[in-house]
């Protein structure tokens, strides 16, 4: 592989509306380049661009395309990459001819990213028919016959039917009614967790990192799990997206109103004139059906998160965790079995907090989840342990300080005594031996007093008045609390 042609096209009608459409030459180029750079073989090749601007898809006279085909005939190109097949050619008979006869004959590989088509990977297994069908559909679009289909879809959505291909992360299609969304219990808590992390003050990037650290299954991986196979292997999505969370994946979830039980439709429409270019409608034109399906996130939480994201966006210097408090022990608790952080997932009835559910995500995924103690019980246990170990009440503190002062005074006394005995010896009142004996005795007592003073110092330093359990108090003494279904297993102190 050494010469790749990338072909991009935008028609007049699209160019006029460029501000509303994302389908600019640039976005096509980005998608194609992204695809190329994720392919070990393709990224080494030379890339040549061919662009047609303002030529309708219905006519086949396009200078960019003509130049490209000329180079194919001159054997200067051995791979063509386009975003959509419809970008390349609209007339399906001609398209089919190129795909099935001309390109294979010239040894040209053809890739249509969004159609999941790669001539190198297609065998003679009937996919050709699929492609012909797609082209036929594009043909129809060009001739403005798609009207009926569009109307049918719109009607279905107005009735609250979920007509888009795959349900969003956290939902499944109801097996009894494929137009209805039901909660995907095995990952819905992950959605709640993502909203909570944002409320707790984590940024999109930090949230993605936490999800990755905890090995949380991604939307795409979950989709493949449901389908039982990797349906995207032929697509341009990098395999990275299968397993790794990115800030944009997190944002996509945070912005999707579907989680509040609302179905939003009429966000986009496909142009009938040039076959499939997507127009993004302004927000006022979106249509919504509230309480269409079971919510995972309350409206209040959703709105708070939206506001938060907006304010952070405005204020670049946003820093520090928010006041949205979790249990004070939450940051310190880990699973005794696997060592992962225990999630303290808040649950609310839409208006107020009803409780906090504790679970180890990792153990849950392995079907080894243990029922953990109520968070209030654990808090109480930690509080008791901290008090026993580190709390010194006011009276006790005063007693220690008093004792220490007495010891200092005693030492002063001893020093005075030592001086007096020294004078006695100097004036010949006592013998040298007697003085040395007394001196040793006095110094020994002083030494003992000093030892006790040090002990009290240490006690006073370590002691605190632990009147209530706050995150700061826990952080001062505790590094990690390991728990199991039996309760606290061990504590690592700072
Ligand atoms: Zn675990």
* Tens digits of residue pLDDT in 89-100: 655 556 666 776
State which CATH number among 3.40.50.1390, 3.60.20.30, 2.60.120.10, 3.40.50.10190 fits the domain covering 3-143: 3.40.50.1390
Predicted pLDDT of residue 407: 92
Q: How far is the CA of 363 from the centre of ligand 1 (A)?
A: 4
Q: How far is the CA of 242 from the centre of ligand 1 (A)?
A: 23
Q: Which H or E run contains 197?
A: helix 185-199
Q: How far is the CA of 216 from the centre of ligand 1 (A)?
A: 13
Give 164's pLDDT tier (boundaries 50, 70, 90): low
Tokens linked to 404: 């220490």
Predicted pLDDT of residue 205: 86
Q: Of residues 144 and 452, which shows the higher confidence score?
A: 452
Beta carbons of 119 and 109 less than 8 angstroms apart:
yes
Q: How far is the CA of 241 from the centre of ligand 1 (A)?
A: 25
Q: How far is the CA of 203 from the centre of ligand 1 (A)?
A: 25
Residue with tokens 């199991």: 484
Give 72's pLDDT tier (boundaries 50, 70, 90): confident
- Segment 432-442, tens digit of pLDDT: 888 889 989 99
Calculated CA dihedral for residues 385, 391, 393, 399, nearest 10 degrees:
120
448 has a pLDDT exceeding 70: yes
Predicted pLDDT of residue 67: 87
Q: How far is the CA of 368 from the centre of ligand 1 (A)?
A: 8
Q: Of residues 191 and 107, which shows the higher confidence score?
A: 191
Q: Of residues 285 and 255, which shows the higher confidence score?
A: 255
Q: Closest Cα to residue 354, out of 466, 243, 192, 158?
A: 192
27 has a pLDDT exceeding 70: yes
Contacts of 151 (CB under 8 A, 6+ apart): none
Domain at 150-314: CATH architecture: Alpha-Beta Complex (3.90)
246 has a pLDDT exceeding 60: yes
- Segment 399-411, tens digit of pLDDT: 888 998 999 999 9
Q: Of residues 102 and 474, which shows the higher confidence score?
A: 474
Q: Can you give the residue ranges of every domain in the chain?
A: 3-143, 150-314, 330-390+469-493, 394-462
Q: How many CB atoms lie within 10 A of CB 363?
A: 19
Q: What gap in Å lies between CA 12 and CA 366, rounded to an integer?
A: 55
Q: How far is the CA of 360 from the centre of ligand 1 (A)?
A: 5
Predicted pLDDT of residue 400: 85
Q: How far is the CA of 361 from the centre of ligand 1 (A)?
A: 7
443 has a pLDDT exceeding 70: yes
Predicted pLDDT of residue 319: 44
Give 233's pLDDT tier (boundaries 50, 70, 90): very low
Give 464's pLDDT tier (boundaries 50, 70, 90): confident
- Segment 290-306, tens digit of pLDDT: 888 899 999 988 998 99
Mean of per-residue pLDDT scores for the chain: 77
- Segment 341-396, tens digit of pLDDT: 888 888 766 566 678 889 888 788 777 888 999 999 999 999 999 888 887 777 77
Q: Of residues 299 and 321, which shows the higher confidence score?
A: 299
Please state the rounded mean pLDDT for residues 259-287.
71
Q: What gap in Å lies between CA 329 and CA 378, rounded to an integer?
A: 8
- Assign 301 to helix, strand or coil: helix
Q: Of residues 373 and 133, which shows the higher confidence score?
A: 373
Predicted pLDDT of residue 158: 59
**Kind of pairing between the strands at 478-484 and 487-493:** antiparallel
Predicted pLDDT of residue 320: 46
Beta carbons of 312 and 318 less than 8 angstroms apart:
yes
Give 254's pLDDT tier (boundaries 50, 70, 90): very high
Q: Provide DSSP, 19-36.
A: TTBS--HHHHHHHHHHHH
Q: How far is the CA of 336 from the centre of ligand 1 (A)?
A: 7
Predicted pLDDT of residue 37: 83
181 has a pLDDT exceeding 80: yes
């Amino acid at each position: 592989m050494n010469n790749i042609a990338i072909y991009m096209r935008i028609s007049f009608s699209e160019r006029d509306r460029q501000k509303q459409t994302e389908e600019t030459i640039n976005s096509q180029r980005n998608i194609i380049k992204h695809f190329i750079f994720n392919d070990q073989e393709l990224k080494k090749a030379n890339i040549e661009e061919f662009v047609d601007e303002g030529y309708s898809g219905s006519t086949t006279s396009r200078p960019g395309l003509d130049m490209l085909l000329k180079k194919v005939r001159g054997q200067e190109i051995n791979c063509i990459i386009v975003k959509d097949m419809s970008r390349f050619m609209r007339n399906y008979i001609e398209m089919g001819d190129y795909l099935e006869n001309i390109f294979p004959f010239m040894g040209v590989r053809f890739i249509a990213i969004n159609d999941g088509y790669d001539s190198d990977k297609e065998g003679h297994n009937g996919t050709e028919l699929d492609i012909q069908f797609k082209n036929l559909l594009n043909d129809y679009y060009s001739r403005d016959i798609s009207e009926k289909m569009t109307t049918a879809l719109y009607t279905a959505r107005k009735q609250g039917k979920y007509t888009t291909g795959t349900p969003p992360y956290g939902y499944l299609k109801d097996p009894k009614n494929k137009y209805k969304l039901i909660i995907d219990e095995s990952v819905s808590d992950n959605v709640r967790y993502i909203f909570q992390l944002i409320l707790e003050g984590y940024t999109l990037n930090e949230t993605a990192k936490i999800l990755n650290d905890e090995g949380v299954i991604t939307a795409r991986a979950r989709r493949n799990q449901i389908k039982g196979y990797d349906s995207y292997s032929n697509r341009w999505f990098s395999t990275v997206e299968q397993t790794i969370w990115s800030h944009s994946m997190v944002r996509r979830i945070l912005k999707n109103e579907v989680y509040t039980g609302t179905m939003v439709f009429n966000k986009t429409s496909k142009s009938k004139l040039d076959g499939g270019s997507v127009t993004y409608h302004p927000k006022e034109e979106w249509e919504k059906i509230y309480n269409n399906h079971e919510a995972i996130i309350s409206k209040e939480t959703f709105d708070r998160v939206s506001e938060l994201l907006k304010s952070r966006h405005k204020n670049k210097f946003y820093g520090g965790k928010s006041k949205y408090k979790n249990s004070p022990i939450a940051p310190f608790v880990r699973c005794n079995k696997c060592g992962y952080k225990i999630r303290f997932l808040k649950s609310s009835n839409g208006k107020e907090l009803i409780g906090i559910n504790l679970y180890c995500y990792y153990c849950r995924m392995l079907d080894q989840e243990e029922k953990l103690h109520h968070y209030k019980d654990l808090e109480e246990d930690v509080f008791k342990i901290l008090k026993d170990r580190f709390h010194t009440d006011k009276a006790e503190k005063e007693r220690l300080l008093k004792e220490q002062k007495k010891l200092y005074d005693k030492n002063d006394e001893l020093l005075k005594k030592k001086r007096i005995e020294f004078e006695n010896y100097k004036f010949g009142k006592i013998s040298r031996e007697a003085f040395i004996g007394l001196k040793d005795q006095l110094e020994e007592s002083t030494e003992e007093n000093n030892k006790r003073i040090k002990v009290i110092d240490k006690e006073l330093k370590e002691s605190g008045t632990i009147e209530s359990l706050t995150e700061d108090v826990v952080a001062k003494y505790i590094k990690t609390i390991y728990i199991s279904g039996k309760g606290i297993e061990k504590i690592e102190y700072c």
